A = this chain, B = another copy of it.
């Protein structure tokens, strides 16, 4: 951030009076520009015991498999965002059943909210950001080609909890993945 989005003045990074963190503050009009974590909302869409996964057509992690998920928009709820992303990425209509996981990713200032969901009619297809979408039995999940740690954790808990017959909400904090860490010196 270089300029004030309100008046186009120069901003500088400093701690405003009464605050405790540095913020971008406009040197001309004084506007304080706050930045906050973003929510990624998605689904674990089930159909006849299988789970719908998407192979990513875009970076990061192009070519690897993920659950349908994306940034929550203003004016919607997190479960609406999860259903919308499932339609955009996998062209699938779902009934959202309930919150299942909340993962903090403080290194990239994101919070993942993943919801259990049921396909309404078994119909799906690759959306614009997806190379292919497919339903997987637990034994067929491509564990070595899962795009993100949050998705791997969510899927592993999901299958274990499904066997157990009970889905409590799971929460946790996940650090950088190996491909996000700087190489050792």
Contact = CB atoms under 8 A, between A and B. Distances in A.
B73 A21 contact: yes
Interface of A: 1-8, 11, 18, 21, 24, 33-39, 71-80, 98-99, 102, 104, 106-107, 109, 111, 113, 128, 168-169, 171, 173
A113 B99 CA distance: 12
B5 A75 contact: no
Nearest to A128: B18
Contacts of A169: 99, 168-169
A42 to B, nearest CB: 15
A75 B106 contact: yes
Nearest to A36: B38
Contacts of A106: 75-77, 80
Given A18-B128, A36-B72, A109-B74, A5 B7 contact: no
Given A18-B128, A128-B18, A37 B74 contact: yes
A2 B5 CA distance: 6
A99 B171 contact: yes
Contact of A36 (B1, B73, B77): B73
Nearest to A77: B104
Contact of A102 (B35, B75, B99, B128): B99
A2 B104 CA distance: 32
Contact of A77 (B1, B71, B173): B173
